[in-house]
Amino acid sequence: MEKVILYVEQTILHLEKTILQMEKVILYVEKRVLQMEKRDFYIKGYKMGVKKTFAQFLSDTRLMTEGCNAHLDEVKAVGITESMIVKLEEKNKLLADLDTQQEKLKADLKSVTSKLTSELSAQEKLLNEARRRVKVGIATEQWREFGITASR
């Protein structure tokens, strides 16, 4: 009987530690989601403080590079070099790739959060089952050793 009690105590302690770890992860994920929601995903435009969406910004950059490539001799006269155009194109591609990666990470975060929530629910059910069994089979005086503070 003592071995069973010891095993149940260890199991309950392990479950409680796991729940605490899961709660920490949930708090971290919730904090990151709030940070992402609060973040301003707009890039400030240059005309009279007009804000542009990220897609508009990428489109504007693409149009600028296409126009510069189409009128290379004319833009060279105003100081726009081929290397500047190449840099604009490369940075625009990099920004688009990073945006795609960010969207994938957002989707992954939602998936992980969903899995974490379901695992937490399963863990909570398991802990409740262990508590119920302790209450049925162990004397009320010993319940505190299992983390049970109820008197019935």
Which of 33-37, 65-69, 111-115, 127-131 has the least mean pLDDT?
33-37
Q: How would residue 37 be classed by pLDDT, with cut points 50, 70 and 90? A: low
pLDDT (0 to 100) of residue 42: 44
Distances from the Cα of 91 to the Cαs of 25, 43, 54, in angstroms? 35, 15, 13
Question: Is 152 within a domain?
Answer: no
pLDDT (0 to 100) of residue 115: 94
Question: Is 76 within a domain?
Answer: yes
Question: Is 30 within a domain?
Answer: yes
Orientation angle between helical segments 82-137 and 54-70, nearest 10 degrees: 160
Question: Domain span at residue 62?
Answer: 2-146
Question: Is 98 within a domain?
Answer: yes
Question: Is 26 within a domain?
Answer: yes
pTM comes to: 0.51
Q: How far apart are CA 69 and CA 91, in angstroms?
A: 16
Question: Is 116 within a domain?
Answer: yes
Which of 44-48, 50-54, 104-108, 143-147 has the least mean pLDDT?
44-48
SS3 state of residue 51:
strand
Question: Is 7 within a domain?
Answer: yes
What count of other Cβ atoms lies within 10 Å of the Cβ of residue 146?
20
Higher-pLDDT residue of 83 and 5 is: 83
Question: Is 151 within a domain?
Answer: no
Q: How far apart are CA 152 and CA 129, in angstroms?
A: 15
Q: Please give the tally of structural domains in the chain.
A: 1
pLDDT (0 to 100) of residue 149: 87
Higher-pLDDT residue of 3 and 58 is: 58
Enumerate the H helices of 39-147 as residue ranges.
54-70, 72-77, 82-137
Mean pLDDT across 108-123: 94
